[in-house]
């Protein structure tokens, strides 16, 4: 009942009397002092007349607020330490990845430059050669001069065959003359026999005409013997020349046919070689351009990953700030005599400092994402350039796998064609040697003709004298010597015919000598602008050069494939950037949770709190970059008398600095 009475009194006091006592109080009204006492067990509650609340309830509420603040501080300290440890671990774990990425980029760039140098070196073997001649010049020289040599050889052989044919005509004429001379010799013998018969019929003295008949028979024998000897050598000469003319004509026709075919093969192969070298120039230019792109993109990534240095320093600053926050939270969470308002102000400063770290982390997260995208894009471009280079190498005939055939498809026919031309030149040289040998035989025949001409002329003179003497002797006999006189005149006529034959033989001999001289000149004419040994040496050099180029380009193709695999492996490891961004995101989430827990004390902090100023003073990066510390809308500037540096140069000299706010962004320089 007593307790009920107290409760009724309390209700009456708050509803009736207290509004009357405190309503419209004037300046002279004395303030109502609260009655503060200690309530013992079983006593009625003691009231605070300024608030109307139970004094004990107020004390319990204050204790609860103190406990809540201390609990929040202690929890914040543990959470902040957890975030700090996570950031330190993330930074430590990514250090090797950034280092490895830099090494990979260096290797990729060096390999790309090596590929370009290898392509240029291989192309140089085709575009450069000994004696100042490029491979193309060498091939062109061999093609041009072998064709010129073969054409000149063909012309010489054709001209020589014309002389051979003329010689055959002259020898055929001489053969006919020999037949006529043989018949004259027979007629001499017939006339001599008739003289002997007439002497017997007329009973003439044998001593008078016996010598004439005998001498005519001797001359006839000499003519027959001389002609027989000539015809023996003449037949061999005609047979040899005829066989040479037939075989040479047949060989020349075969050379013409094969030369036309070889010329077509060589010409087509030479055109293809020109195209290969043109492709080589294009391949070099393209490879150089691609290497420049690869180098540029590798440089972009190298510049980008320098962010790692900045990130490490900024995370170090954040971790230091987290340690400060943990220290403040630890102090705030202790049970001491400090006023709750002071501790609340400290937690407000903690909120402000932690909010700055969140913005720093958000900025880091954005830069990491941008770096990840830039790095991935750069590697995709690098991989694309390497892939295109592989395709171009695969499509080039230098590598032996071209879409339009391999280089061997061009060089091999060229080598074969030049080899055929070399064989044809050898055949032509053999034919010229045979023609040259034939001139020796014909020269021997011509020399024999000179002796025959002299012999025929001597026979003609002797026969003519014998005929005149016989005619004179026959005139002395009168009618008895008429027949002998007629026979003697026949001898003189045969002698004149013999002289005519000697003149014809002389003309034939002169023609033969002239043709032999022309044939010798034709055979001796310099036809080869390139010799067969030179051609064979050039073919061997071209084959060796091309084989070397093929080996080098094969190595380039293999190295390109290896680089492509290396780039693919590096691309697969780039996920560490995304993982790092995810860790930053997790840390930001954890910080936001801490901030949410500290939200009740947010407004208790001050921008010029010594804890905040001490943190800001630490944001000085003398060697790299400066962190601008943003404030929220309520904290626009730091007091002008605050002594801390924001910039590595100049701020310390000025003695004070003003922090200009740009929304919530954190700038890094």
3-state SS string for 353-382: HHHHHHHHHHHHHHHHHHHHHHHHHHHHHH
3-state SS string for 186-226: HHHHHHHHHHHHHHHHCCCCHHHHHHHHHHHHHHHHHHHHH
Task: Return all residues near 177 (Cβ < 8 A) that are at least 6 apart.
Answer: 501, 504, 505, 508
Q: According to the model, what pLDDT value does residue 132 have?
A: 57
The answer to whether 328 and 611 are in contact (CB under 8 A) is: yes
The answer to whether 437 and 243 are in contact (CB under 8 A) is: no
- DSSP bridge pairs for 53: 48
Give the residues of the chain that fall short of pLDDT 70: 1-58, 123, 126-136, 201-211, 335-338, 397-411, 526-530, 605-609, 611-612, 615-669
User: CA-CA distance, 192 to 216, in Å (whole number)?
Assistant: 6
pTM: 0.56
Which pairs with CB-CB distance under 8 Å and at least 24 residues apart come from 192-198?
Answer: 192/216, 192/217, 192/220, 193/217, 194/487, 195/470, 195/484, 195/487, 195/488, 198/483, 198/484, 198/487
**DSSP H or E run through 48:** strand 47-48
Within the chain, how many helices (H) and strands (E) appear?
A: 13, 2
Q: According to the model, what pLDDT value does residue 593 have?
A: 92
Q: Whose structure tokens read 């015809």?
A: 231
Question: Which among 307, 164, 185 has a CA at the least distance from the CA of 241?
Answer: 164
Domain definitions of the chain by residue range: 134-274+421-527, 608-651
pLDDT digits (tens, 9 = 90+) for 255-309: 787 777 777 777 777 777 777 777 777 877 787 788 788 878 887 888 878 878 8
User: CA-CA distance, 203 to 242, in Å (whole number)?
Assistant: 56
Q: What is the residue-wise DSSP string for 433-478? A: HHHHHHHHHHHHHHHHHHHHHHHHHHHHHHHHHHHHHHHHHHHHTG
Burial pattern 178-193, b for ≥16 Cβ within 10 A else e, equals: beebbebbebbbebbe
Token pair of 499, please?
Answer: 């002289």
Give the chain's radius of gyration (CA, Å): 64
Q: Is 592 exposed, middle or buried (0-12, 13-18, 19+ CB in 10 A)?
A: middle
* 3-state SS class at 668: strand
Q: According to the model, what pLDDT value does residue 590 have?
A: 93
User: CA-CA distance, 11 to 7, in Å (whole number)?
Assistant: 6
């Amino acid at each position: 009942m007593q307790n009920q009475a107290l409760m009724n009194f309390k209700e009456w006091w708050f509803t009736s009397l207290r509004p009357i006592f405190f309503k419209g109080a004037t300046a002279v009204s004395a303030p109502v002092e609260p009655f503060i006492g200690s309530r013992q067990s079983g006593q009625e509650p003691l009231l605070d007349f300024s608030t109307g609340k139970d004094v004990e309830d107020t004390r319990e509420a204050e204790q609860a607020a103190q406990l809540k603040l201390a609990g929040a501080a202690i929890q914040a300290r543990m959470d902040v330490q957890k975030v700090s440890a996570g950031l330190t671990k993330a930074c430590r774990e990514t250090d090797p990845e950034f280092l490895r990425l830099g090494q990979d980029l260096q290797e990729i760039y060096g390999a790309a430059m090596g590929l370009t140098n290898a392509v240029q070196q291989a192309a140089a073997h085709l575009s450069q050669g000994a004696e100042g001649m490029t491979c193309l010049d060498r091939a062109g020289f061999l093609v041009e001069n072998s064709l010129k040599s073969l054409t000149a050889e063909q012309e010489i052989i054709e001209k020589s065959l014309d002389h051979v044919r003329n010689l055959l005509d002259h020898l055929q004429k001489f053969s006919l003359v020999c037949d006529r001379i043989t018949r004259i010799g027979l007629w001499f013998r017939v006339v001599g026999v008739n003289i002997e018969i007439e002497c017997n019929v007329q009973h003439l003295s044998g001593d008078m005409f016996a010598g004439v008949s005998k001498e005519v028979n001797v001359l006839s024998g000499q003519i027959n013997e001389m002609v027989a000897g000539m015809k023996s050598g003449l037949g061999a000469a005609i047979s040899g020349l005829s066989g040479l003319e037939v075989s040479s004509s047949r060989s020349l026709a075969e050379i013409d046919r094969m030369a036309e075919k070889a010329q077509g093969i060589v010409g087509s192969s030479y055109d293809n070689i020109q195209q290969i070298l043109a492709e080589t120039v294009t391949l070099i230019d393209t490879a150089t351009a691609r290497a420049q792109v690869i180098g540029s993109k590798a440089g972009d990534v190298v510049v980008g990953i320098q962010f790692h240095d900045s990130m490490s320093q900024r995370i170090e600053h954040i971790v230091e700030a987290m340690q400060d926050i943990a220290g403040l939270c630890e102090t705030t969470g202790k049970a001491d005599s400090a006023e709750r308002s002071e501790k609340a102000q400290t937690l407000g400063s903690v909120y402000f400092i932690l909010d700055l770290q969140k913005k720093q982390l958000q900025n880091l997260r954005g830069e990491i994402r941008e770096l990840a995208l830039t790095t991935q894009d750069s590697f995709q471009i690098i991989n694309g350039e390497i892939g295109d280079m592989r395709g171009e190498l695969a499509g080039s005939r230098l590598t032996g796998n071209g879409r339009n055939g391999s280089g061997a498809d061009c060089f091999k026919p060229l080598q074969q064609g030049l080899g055929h031309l070399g064989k044809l030149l050898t055949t032509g040289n053999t034919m010229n040697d045979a023609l040259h040998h034939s001139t020796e035989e014909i020269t021997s025949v011509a020399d024999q003709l000179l002796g025959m001409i002299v012999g025929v002329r001597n026979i003609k003179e002797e026969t003519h004298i014998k005929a005149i003497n016989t005619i004179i002797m026959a005139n002395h006999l009168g009618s008895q010597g008429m027949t002998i006189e007629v026979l003697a005149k026949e001898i003189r006529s045969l002698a004149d015919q013999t002289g005519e034959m000697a003149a014809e033989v002389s003309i034939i001999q002169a023609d033969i000598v002239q043709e032999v001289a022309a044939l010798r000149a034709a055979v001796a004419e310099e036809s080869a602008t390139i010799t067969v040994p030179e051609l064979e040496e050039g073919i061997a050099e071209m084959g060796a050069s091309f084989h070397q180029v093929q080996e080098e380009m094969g190595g380039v193709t293999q190295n390109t494939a290896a680089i492509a695999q290396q780039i693919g492996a590096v691309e697969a490891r780039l996920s560490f950037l995304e993982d790092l961004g995810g860790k930053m995101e997790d840390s930001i989430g954890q910080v936001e949770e801490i901030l949410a827990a500290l939200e009740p004390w947010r407004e208790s902090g001050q921008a010029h709190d010594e804890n905040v100023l001490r943190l800001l003073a630490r944001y000085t990066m003398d060697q790299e970059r400066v962190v601008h510390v943003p404030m929220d809308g309520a904290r626009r500037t730091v007091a002008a008398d605050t002594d801390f540096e924001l910039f590595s140069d100049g701020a310390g000299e000025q003695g004070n600095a003003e922090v200009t706010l740009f929304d919530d962004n954190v700038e890094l320089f």
